[in-house]
Amino acid sequence: MNEEKMNTNEEEMPEFGNDLITLTDEETGEELQFEVLATMTDEETGRDFIALIPVFQSPEDALMDDGTFTVLEVGEDNEFFTIDDEEELDRIGLIFEEKLRDYYEEEEEEN
């Protein structure tokens, strides 16, 4: 599998929260900041995944964003890998969408 490897400077990942992490793209060296939406272990494969959204420096950039989130596989030592298999990416993305929908619906019910 041709994987794009990205590293994080965080040692532990939360299940949910507003935690920010900085990833460095090893191909370009560019540092990008993301907010962690959720993490999960896939019951089917036992592999760990993380859902992220970019953090923007300006409100204008945030308004221009299409609102999609990024899903990466979490390897040993919290290294992140892109998911090259489109079917797997779609399957994991749908699981995150459901998980996030459930989470935010529960918060709305509490308020």
The total of other beta-carbon atoms located within 10 Å of residue 61's CB is 11
pLDDT tens profile 73-96: 999 888 899 999 999 999 999 999
pLDDT exceeds cutoff 70 at 27: yes
Does the pTM surpass 0.95? The reply is no
All structural domains of the chain with their residue ranges = 5-110
- Check residue 3 and give its pLDDT: 37
Asked if residue 104 has pLDDT above 90, the reply is no
Burial class (CB in 10 A: 0-12, 13-18, 19+), 67: exposed
Would you put residue 55 in left (φ > 0), alpha (ψ -120 to 50) or beta? beta
pLDDT tens per residue across span 33-53? 999 989 999 999 999 999 998
